[in-house]
Amino acid sequence: MERETISVTVNGRAYERAVEPRRLLSDFLREDLRLTGTHVGCEHGVCGSCTVMMDGVTARSCLTFAVMADGAEIETIEGLGSVEAMHPVQQAFWEKHGLQCGFCTPGMLMTAVELLKANPDPSVDDIRDAISGNLCRCTGYQTIVESIQYAAKLMREDGP
Amino acid sequence: MYVGQAIRRREDERFLRGRGRFVEDITLDQPIAHAAFVRSPHAHAAVTHVDTAQAAAMPGVLAVLTGADWTAAGHGEAEGVWPVKDMSGADSRTAYRPLICVDGVVRCVGEIVAMVVAEDRHQALDAAEAIEVAYEEKPANTITAGALDPDIPLVHPAFGTNEVMVTEHGLKEETEAALANAHHVTEVVVPTNRVTAASMEPRAYLGHYDRVNDRYTVWTTNQAPHIVRRYFTKSLHIPEHKLRVIAPDVGGGFGMKLYHYPEEGLVLWGAIVCDRPVRWVGTRSECLLGDTHARDHHTVGRMGFDENGKILGVKFETLAAFGAYESQWQASITNAYHFTMLSLAYDIPAIHTQVRAVYTNATPVDAYRGAGRPEAVYQVERMIENGAQEMGIDPLELRARNLIPPEKFPYQTALGITYDSGDPPVLMGKIKALADYDALRAEQARLRAEGQWMGIGISAFFDMAGAGPVKMMNDLGAKVGCYDVASVRVHPDGRITVFAGSHSHGQGHETTWSQIAADRLGCDIDHIDLVEGDTDRVPMGIGTWGSRSLSTAGMAVYTAADRVVAKAKRMAAHMMECAPEDLDLADGEFTVKGTDRKLSFAAVANASYHSGDRPSDLEIGLEETSFFDPADCTYPSAIHLCVVLVDPETCAVTLRNYWAVDDVGTVINPMVLHGQVHGGLVQGIGQALMEECAYDAESGQYLSGTFMDYAIPHAEDVPSFGLDAHFTRALGNPLGAKGAGESGTIGAPACICNGVIDALWHLGVRQITQPMTPKKIWRAIEDAKRTQH
Ligand code: FES
Ligand code: FES
């Protein structure tokens, strides 16, 4: 199949790659760039495990073709936080036991980051609503809700 | 002390940073080929012709393999490690799930007929599509309830019946007499819906054969890697010492990832044939269809009460679906975990149960979180609820009258199992207070007067966890020894690596096993690392399932660490010129009791490896292994209570409140414990309200192949939970721990169903089959109206 060349910035680094038009963004990230933190749990847009940030908003990389990301800025879980310090959302999930097997976690974290950007002080209902597109089979969601509330607190205290 | 502390998990950082390493993430130093499968679209059919010629010639294709090739290669089958045992003495009718169709008949949708191995996944999928298979359809049955009726098609005609086996347990005559003499008898028909674990990580396997060194490696999404080696001795006839099984990070298992799935054997076969590593990663549809399904019992039960609501006896007749074939651990449910637990938390003098296992043209059933106990609790609790309602006794009060009193422990049930410790009345008192039960009943009456339908559900039960000891589990049918193993290796610098035969796929062993080891070794928890999930590094293991790891592998860590301390004390005593008994070990230092003479653990470790000056009978080195066989299973208990609101307009159920009070014995890490309870509860809620592996009754087609059709709970569907606890020590292990992984899935379906029935009892509704969707609730209300008029 014919390939198209795309340029994308992923976690602040510019890449130019030739991809088949049918190549999914999830496969592109995982296989071509070896960024395996983005997970594929259903490949039909329901579980949210594959959630990444595309030009500042969350996108399901399993429903996005890599060619659609041409010219875009992508952020994945690997770009969250720094080597020295985790992002407050990561920190909060750690403190509040917001993960068990860790498979849904990257998608959950990206969704939480987006929520907290728009709403720095979300209620429990706001949080449950925001993560309703992300399935988790391990935690029962309660500790995820608590993690996101705690992250909001950390972020409010730290300032932007 | 680390044990008992809510320490944040040591494994979390890699997951939070996207550095987890799952089977799909593994890279090797040679390119990995991909497998794709051709699966039966029919529930039952003869395979009359398979044409692979076109596929084999397609770009990138390395091999196309069929059942004929499998047979020609002399390969075998996935033999059960917990096979059927027919207790009536008749021959059991075993047909193990084949890895690939070898006998020209497919018996359920999804059965594998052919495999393609190609350079990349798309090429493999394209070629799989080009394989032509001709089928001749046969009549099929996917329904458990009528599977033994005379005109139902046979799944395995050679057996002459769909019955796999019959078992009977308990006190038959006493039960009949109790029912005959009862003041009131309640009868219910309760089917337990077919569900599946649906871990978020799909199953995936990577097989590699190193021809030069004659070594095999399999990376697998599995909960018990050492048992995987055992399966391969029967399927591909690979000796255990030649095969390395690695279960790296695994994204949830819940029992479903315990088996030798067809794809696991086939990718390694493909790797051998193609001389290339081969990987398969399941799509969600392949997983919802091919992952083992669970539950699917059809039960008729009768329960007799005296005039005060005291249960006199209970009798069950159950049809238990096996699906089209026997999966490797399937009989652990029918022969070990279901019948044993039918007394729940109640003092019932007479119980009798008959289980007939049946074949249907559906995906094989095997263990999923709870395995037999959710069915048992649902079956018993539904009778208790209806009995209480029929007799006009408050449902909580009727239960309280029947709970096993603390003075009866250890308590032997009418089914012969002995619960070592527990105190159900205390749990009941706590949940009553936690939920403010009397206020809830008052609210219910008020709302009902206003035309609102509120219900209160309750379930109370014991779990049989901690599978072991070996002898008891052997007697219940296990062909694997139910112990577990740990090695504690102290390095010369005093730092420690623990190797354990358990496998963590969310449970947090890197934290909890380290908590146990650090306490026993008197060291900093950060001085300990844990290795699991690699048969070349861990000496042996039985794996993580049945809430067993803490009381087996955790205890092996405890025991091996104690042995290390005993040996280190001898070395330290030699160095400090005192007796080993005079030494204390804490904070990384040995101290001579009553003095300030100290010697660091690290110095003793170093001397253990590098000093010639040691007791003459003390071997060099500081490493100990324990194969721990517990003295008993463990018997955690719990009581659940929930409030449901049923919308009179839409018949939708809102689960407003959920409380659980658990007795899990000694707690290692309360944060991890709560996570286990929460997660199980939500899976139980899913079973009660939305999950079902559905088949079209006419065609046998599978209808639940995506997350749009198989609904698992979202964050919005579930409440936050109110938890409390009361701990009685387990007597079967020195930690006193009972295991806590399954309480949620065991208790929730019954609790929620009882709540919905309680909400609708006044309308004449007596039973609703799970999942209790609005449509089923509406139908039940309409049916009740009709029968009343
Ligand atoms: S993998 Fe993209 S939504 Fe499930
Ligand atoms: S932590 Fe396992 S799926 Fe969410």
How far, rounded to the nearest angstrom, does the alpha carbon of residue B765 sit from its chain's CA centroid? Answer: 32
CA B266 centroid distance within chain: 24
The B residues from 169 to 198 touching A (CB cutoff 8 Å) are 197-198
Mutate to test the pocket of ligand 1, among A29, A36, A46 (most ligand atoms within 8 A of CB): A46
Tell me: do A94 and A46 sit in the same domain.
Answer: no
CB distance B17–A100 less than 8 Å?
no
- Domain B1-370 carries which CATH code? 3.30.365.10
- Distance, in Å, from the CA atom of B652 to the CA atom of B672, rounded to the nearest integer, reads 33
Q: What is the mean pLDDT of chain B?
A: 97
pLDDT score, position B742? 95
Phi, psi of B353 (to 5 degrees): -135, 140
Q: Quick one: tokens of B114? A: 């052919």
Q: Residue A77 pLDDT more than 90?
A: yes
Q: Is B706 near chain A, with CB under 8 Å?
A: yes
pLDDT score recorded for residue B787: 86
pLDDT for residue B88: 64
Q: Which of these three, A35, A52, A79, is where a domain ends?
A: A79
Same domain, yes or no: A45 and A63: yes
Neighbours of A42 (CB within 10 A): 24
Segment A102-126, tens digit of pLDDT? 999 999 999 999 999 999 999 999 9
CATH of domain B418-466+632-788: 3.30.365.10
CA–CA separation, B482 vs B504, rounded Å?
A: 17
- Is B302 in a helix, a strand, or coil? strand
Q: What is the pLDDT of residue B533?
A: 98
Q: Measured from the CB, is residue A138 less than 6 Å from ligand 2?
A: yes
Angle, CA B301 vertex, CA B304 and CA B312 arms, to 5°:
20
| A46 and A108 fall within a common domain | no
What percentage of residues in chain A have a pLDDT greater than 90? 95
Checking if the pLDDT of A160 tops 60, the result is no
Question: What are B194's strand-pairing partners?
Answer: B295
Q: Which residues of B182-221 are buried (b: 16+ CB within 10 A; e: fewer)?
A: beebbebebbbbbbbbbbbbbbbbbbbbeeeeeebbbbbb
User: What's A47's domain CATH number?
Assistant: 3.10.20.30
B125 touches chain A (CB under 8 A): no
- In the block, tokens 């890895």 appear at B99
The answer to whether residue B122 neighbours chain A at the CB level (below 8 Å) is: yes
Question: Does pLDDT of A100 surpass 70?
Answer: yes
Q: Which residues of A touch B674 (CB under 8 A)?
A: 97, 143
Closest CA to B454 of B755, B763, B780: B755
pLDDT on residue B247: 98
The model's confidence at residue B772, banded by pLDDT at 50, 70 and 90, is very high
Domain shared by A104 and A132, yes or no: yes
Say if residue A74 is in the same domain as residue A87: no
Q: How many residues does chain B have?
A: 789
Q: B378-428, pLDDT tens digit by residue? A: 999 999 999 999 999 999 999 999 999 999 999 999 999 999 999 999 999
Q: How far is the CA of A112 from the centre of ligand 2 (A)?
A: 15
- A18 SS3 class: strand
The pLDDT value recorded for residue A158 is 80
What pLDDT does residue B85 have? 77
Residue A159 has pLDDT above 70, yes or no: no
Q: Are residues A62 and A85 in the same domain?
A: no
User: Does A152 share its domain with A92?
Assistant: yes
Say if residue A69 is in the same domain as residue A8: yes
The percent of residues above 90 in pLDDT, for chain B, comes to 97
Q: What pLDDT was estimated at residue B92?
A: 73
Residues 665-684 of B with CB under 8 A from A: 671-672, 674-675, 677-683
pLDDT tens digits for range B565-588? 999 999 999 999 999 999 999 999
Q: Is B626 helix (H, G, I), strand (E, B) or coil?
A: strand
- A135-152: average pLDDT: 98
User: What ranges do the domains of chain B cover?
Assistant: 1-370, 418-466+632-788, 484-628
**Alpha carbons B707 and A51: distance in angstroms, whole number:** 16
pTM of the model: 0.97
Sequence-distant (6+) residues with CB within 8 A of B373 are B337, B338, B341, B461, B463, B464, B742, B746
Residue B89 has a pLDDT of 61
Do residues A76 and A29 lie in contact, with contact meaning Cβ atoms separated by under 8 Å? yes
Read off the pLDDT band of A19 (50, 70, 90): very high
Domain boundary among A79, A102, A125: A79
Same domain, A90 and A110: yes
Query: Under CATH, to which class is B484-628 assigned?
Result: alpha beta
Task: Give the end of a domain, one of A79, A114, A131.
Answer: A79
- In B490-626, which ranges are continuous DSSP H helix? 509-521, 549, 555-576, 601-610
Question: Is the pLDDT score of B86 beyond 80?
Answer: no
pLDDT of residue B281: 98
Each residue of B438-451: pLDDT tens digit? 999 999 999 999 99
pLDDT the model gives residue B83: 86
The answer to whether A22 and A3 are in contact (CB under 8 A) is no
Residue B789 scores a pLDDT above 70: no
Q: Hey, whose CA ends up nearest to atom 3 of ligand 2? A: A136
Range of the domain at A13: 4-79
Please judge whether B707 and A93 are an interchain contact, meaning their C-beta atoms are less than 8 angstroms apart. Answer: no
| Ligand 2 centroid – CA A142 distance (Å) | 12
- How far is the C-alpha of B174 from the C-alpha of B181, rounded, in Å? 11
Residue B64 pairs in a beta bridge with B116
Number of domains in chain A: 2
Q: Which of B19, B11, B56 is nearest to B38 (CA)?
A: B56
* CB of B252 sitting under 6 A from ligand 2: yes
Same domain, A154 and A85: yes
Tell me what the mean pLDDT of segment B477-495 comes to: 97
Q: How far is C-alpha B203 from the geometric centre of its chain's CA atoms?
A: 16
Instruction: Report the distance separating Cα B643 and Cα B256, nearest Å.
Output: 30
Interchain CB distance below 8 Å, B715 and A141: yes
Cα(A132) to centroid of ligand 1, in Å? 13
Long-range interactions of A127-131: CB distance < 8 A, separation 24+: A127/B715, A128/B715, A128/B716, A129/B715, A129/B716, A131/A48, A131/B715
pLDDT in tens, B13-41: 999 999 999 999 999 999 999 999 999 99
Q: How confident is the model at residue B744 (pLDDT cuts 50, 70, 90)?
A: very high
pLDDT score at B91: 61
Minimal Cα distance from A46: which residue of B?
A: B707
Q: How far is A70 from chain B (nearest CA, A)?
A: 22
- Tens-place pLDDT, residues B330-341: 999 998 999 999
What is residue B84's predicted lDDT score, i.e. its pLDDT?
83
Give the mean pLDDT of B89-101.
Answer: 85
Per the CB < 8 A criterion, the answer to whether B360 and B321 are in contact is yes
The dihedral through the CA atoms of B167, B170, B174, B175 has a sign that is: negative
